[in-house]
A and B are shown apart, each in its own frame.
Chain A
Amino acid sequence: MENILSVLIFFPLIAALLGILVKKETIRVYGLTVAAIEFLLSLWLWFAFDPANSGFQFIEYVPLVSDFGINYYLGVDGISLFIVIMAALITLIGIISLGEVKDLKNMIISLLLLETAMVGVFVSLDAIVFYLFWEFSLVPMLYIIGYWGGEKRLYAAIKFFLYTFAGSLIMLVGMLYIAYVYQSVAGVWSFSLTDWYALVLPISVQKWLFWAFFLGFAIKVPMFPFHTWLPYAHGQAPTVGSVILAAVLLKMGTYGFVRFSLPLFPDAAVAYIVPVGVIALMMIIYTAMVAYAQKDMKQVIAYSSISHMGVIVLGTFAMNAVGITGSIFLMLSHGIVSGALFLLVGVIYDRRHTKLMSEFGGLASVMPRYAVVFGIMLMASVGLPLTIGFVGEYLSLAGFFRVAPVMTLVGGTSIILGAVYMLSLYKKTFFGPVTKEENKKLFDLNGRELTALIPLVAIVIWLGVYPKPVLVPIDNSVKALVSFMQEKAQTPEAKAIIHVSTSSKEAK
């Protein structure tokens, strides 16, 4: 199946449209089946993927607006492969975990539309098609937050939409400028990323374009000081919305850095390592402190999610194979772990309709299974060795260490601070005596919740112990990317900083 990427994109879309015909009572089964088929298709993609090939595979190319150089151009490489699989997995888990919500049918249709947009973003190799999916992903999410959210859902939904929309429009101007430069050099219009890669931009141009794209991506990540929309969105979104937002939608930003900013503007990226690094550090430390100060469990997870995204950004801007591989692995692990944590908070919210830590205490004795799963995910979030969180965090920081040791040292506090706020959350919620009468009769995890959570636990342990099957394809593509960047870089400083060969394995 050469056109599997198109199938992956349009299967959920068609399923969503057909979903309108499905009766309300059977929509849950329908949603589950569709999401499961999509996930199996994504696994098939992995199976058919050639890990030795570092370039784009399963390429599809259909001209859309040929006079203007817009093509339906898809492809997947090691960098995007696993994010696509994760998007399919998280959607499936999200649908499994859906409890009794109002208008379930609309929710499932929105989730499937969102899945189309998510898969589309990660496999598009044409800037306009990328932008198309990127923007379109806002629409179902707006509906999910705004309709199923909490008290201030309207404010949160609109803020989410406007913030990201504004940032990406500036990015669009940047894209149009690159296309214009390409047209003036090559004579034809093209928005194909692979064509753009060949373009060597003057450094002054690279610099402003870097910031134009940065604005679009940074708001999505979200980087300090553009992060203010995220706590609102998480605070108000329903559980499944938070799960998908944290696990996949935020990754669009960091993926954008890897796919666009680094290979298109290598010199500018190197020149701005320090400012970007400082912003990332502020993200890590500031939001970790804010997380510690929260009273609401979901807000703790939300801020911790931002804090860890800072480590991903650090890894990306390490400009060497170790750091970037680490950051991509961390995107996956962050997706799994923060997704699971939001699910877990959702579990307790379903039972007690509150997320305040002060309302709980001693849950470990009432809900032992819940406490165990929460504990594993918490450890993975902190970055305990042998969990999935450790691998990515270690590689990202190790990569960045080669560039800026002092900043890495500061960045390393993320692990300590993470342990502080996470463990204190765990202590307040799970240990000690059961103080509230309502908490004494709480049910432990039920079958539906276990079905959603156990696969995630398995992945956390499996990839924590043996990450190789995932790391190798990522590493191959990243090395190709980095050596390409090194070749393309114009300034000697940039050439010196962009490292390929010093992967941890070869150093032995």
Chain B
Amino acid sequence: MHLPAILPWGAAEGFSKQMLLVLLSVVFIAVFFVLAARKQQLVPGKLQFAGEAAYGFVRNGIAKDIIGGRDFIKYVPLLFSLFFFILVNNIYGAIPVFQLPTFSHVGGAYVLAGLVYVTWIAIGIKKNGLRYFKLATVPSGVPWYILPIVIPIEIISNFVVRPVTHSLRLFATMLAGHLIVMIAGSGIEYLIMQENFLLKGTSVLVLAGAIAMYMLEALIMVLQAYVFTLLTAIYIEGALHADSH
């Protein structure tokens, strides 16, 4: 399924299909939204309407609902970029020629989760100063004798586990989906090659299962893009309003 390496880039695999798809996704998203946003009219055309619906989904459905207040607009570009970057890169897995969700390679997921991690910690420090670490790790209204247990848990869950789960959730779902579809494909091929006619016939059942898994995977691709963006918004909101948590 993988394209051969295009250039021997010093890395073991050279310029891989995954890299090409990542760069293509940037082009797709940028071209679509710049075109949709270019000729702005009060009464939108079809393309502009589609662009506005997509933009409004992230702006109002995620940024405004989760972060709220007057500040949410500052974080819309990040959330918007994340959502559509992940969405397009995931959807590759469901498109026949591309057939590779790029986040099934863990590096991309690490990069995005790392960017988000740095971002929300920076927001927390900017908003609350160094007191932010106390606010984020010492929950208010907890009896003092429980604090020795709660504080390490908070530190681990907020500052250690959070970026790991954030990245691995995306990576693992994409890899698993990719593998399932691929295994189903291989299974169909294997069964069709069999001499036994009945055994050959069972490949139809596998095909039905593969189509169902493909649909499920397509849903998960969209869902994971949404989940990743939603979690980013929740982390930013938590950093902004650390004193009220």
Tell me, yes or no, whether A binds B. no
Which residues does B use to contact A, with CB under 8 Å? none
Which residues does A use to contact B, with CB under 8 Å? none
